[in-house]
């Protein structure tokens, strides 16, 4: 039970804070010499974080459900932005999975994430909202999201940074990044769940507790990130990623 709660909190926090959930699910077990979550648990934890973003942005989700003109436009941007990650994820699945067994490579990727986050301090603050962005913006942000298939590269970090580079206001960049992540998080969770079931995995009470922990931690992570974005931007997360990545590279 404690193990499930531990991994649920790790998944929930790192899914939305720009510090790479995939990277931490590789590096934390390696650092503490303990096994990571099994496939069934990992799948369910993804669904916990999916619930967190759906609840936090419930107004946007409800607005999209109306399927009026603004809703169709936003849905179209999300679909367009999701294509690169889906295509690359399906074509490079085996190569990406191999990186999970390479903690030092993941450490380097985490440092890369940190450098990119620190680089956002050089950008001029924009004022574009989700309503102001177009297809070109969505394509750029979508390609940035696809790089996060590499363990150690933060999905939220890449998408928010690219949104800022496209002139978006900080919280609006995060808002679009999280809405864009809904199909990816849902797809990853459902695919892993199907694979786990086919391999004889089961959903236990312990796993469900982990899901709740992931959902609560994920909701808190979104709230924390938005507050820090407004005050200090992404720099603190960049510093953390560089230090964590360097520590793991040396130790592992």
pLDDT tens column, 184-221: 889 877 877 777 677 766 667 888 898 899 999 999 99
Q: Is-contact 185 50, C-beta < 8 A?
A: yes
Model pLDDT, residue 187: 84
* pTM score: 0.94
Model pLDDT, residue 70: 95
pLDDT tens column, 101-131: 899 999 999 999 999 999 999 999 999 999 9
Residue ranges in the chain modelled with pLDDT below 50: none
How far is Cα of residue 166 from the mean position of the Cα atoms in its chain? 19
Hey, where are the domains in the chain? 2-251
Model pLDDT, residue 220: 97
Nearest residue to 40 (alpha-carbon basis) of 229, 252, 196: 196
Nearest residue to 25 (alpha-carbon basis) of 6, 44, 40: 6
Model pLDDT, residue 73: 97
12-49 burial: b if 16+ Cβ within 10 Å, else e: bbbbbbbbbbbbbbbbbbbeeeeebbeebbbbbbbbbb
Find tokens 């603004």 and name the residue. Answer: 70
């Amino acid at each position: 039970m404690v193990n499930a709660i531990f991994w649920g909190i790790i998944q929930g926090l790192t899914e939305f804070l720009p510090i790479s959930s995939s990277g931490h699910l590789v590096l934390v077990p390696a650092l503490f010499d303990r096994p990571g979550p099994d496939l069934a648990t990992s799948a369910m934890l993804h669904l916990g974080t999916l619930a967190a973003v759906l609840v936090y942005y419930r107004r946007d989700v409800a607005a999209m459900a109306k399927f009026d003109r603004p809703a169709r436009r936003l849905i179209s941007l999300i679909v367009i932005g999701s294509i690169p990650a889906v295509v690359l994820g399906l074509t490079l699945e085996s190569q990406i999975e191999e990186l999970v067994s390479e903690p030092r490579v993941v450490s380097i990727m985490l440092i890369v994430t940190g450098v990119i986050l620190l680089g956002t301090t050089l950008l001029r603050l924009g004022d574009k909202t989700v309503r102001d962005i177009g297809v070109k913006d969505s394509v750029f942000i979508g390609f940035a999201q696809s790089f996060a298939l590499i363990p150690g590269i933060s999905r939220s970090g890449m998408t928010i940074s690219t949104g800022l580079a496209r002139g978006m206001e900080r919280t609006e960049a995060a808002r679009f990044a999280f809405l864009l992540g809904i199909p990816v998080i849902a797809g990853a969770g459902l695919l892993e769940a199907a694979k786990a079931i086919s391999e004889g995995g089961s959903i236990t009470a312990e796993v469900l507790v982990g899901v709740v922990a992931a959902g609560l931690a994920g909701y808190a992570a979104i709230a924390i990130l938005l507050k820090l974005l407004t005050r200090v931007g992404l720099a603190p997360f960049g510093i953390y990623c560089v230090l964590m990545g360097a520590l793991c590279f040396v130790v592992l």
